[in-house]
Amino acid sequence: MGCVGEFAAISDSRVFSEVYKSAAKWHCECAVVYFLASEQRKFSAVASKKIGNSVTRNYAKRRLRAAFYNQKDAIVSGIFILIAKKQIIDMSFEDIERNLKWAFKKIGAVK
């Protein structure tokens, strides 16, 4: 799994459940962004089978991780889960970054 910058990977299903239940959520064109304010710095990119086959899902997750990594210095500490939408495959990387930046701003995750 690894990590993104100084953000650790989320591996415990209880953390996922807690974030889904009580986190701030924002839908953008490329993903659904969940943010739970915390002293911990955790991150996970998720792509369901609705996205496509394993190659396509991994491609979507790589793009989300890269866009998140480029903005990691501008966001506050917390737990982030990004769930890819099918449109991410056809979007340019700049559009993905712009969408995530907007989503982080809307859910109050920007420093």
Rounded CA separation 103/27 (Å): 7
Beta-strand pair 42-46/8-9: parallel
What domains does the chain contain, in order, with CATH numbers?
A: 8-106 (3.30.230.10)
The predicted-structure confidence for 15-49, as pLDDT tens digits, reads as follows 999 999 999 999 999 999 999 998 889 999 999 99
Tokens of 9: 């990977």
The predicted-structure confidence for 59-110, as pLDDT tens digits, reads as follows 999 999 999 999 888 899 999 999 999 999 999 999 999 999 999 999 988 8
pTM (two decimals):
0.89
Q: Give the angle 23-32-22 at the CA atoms, nearest 5°.
A: 10
Which residue in this structure is represented by tokens 């907007």? 102
Say what the pLDDT of residue 5 is.
Answer: 63
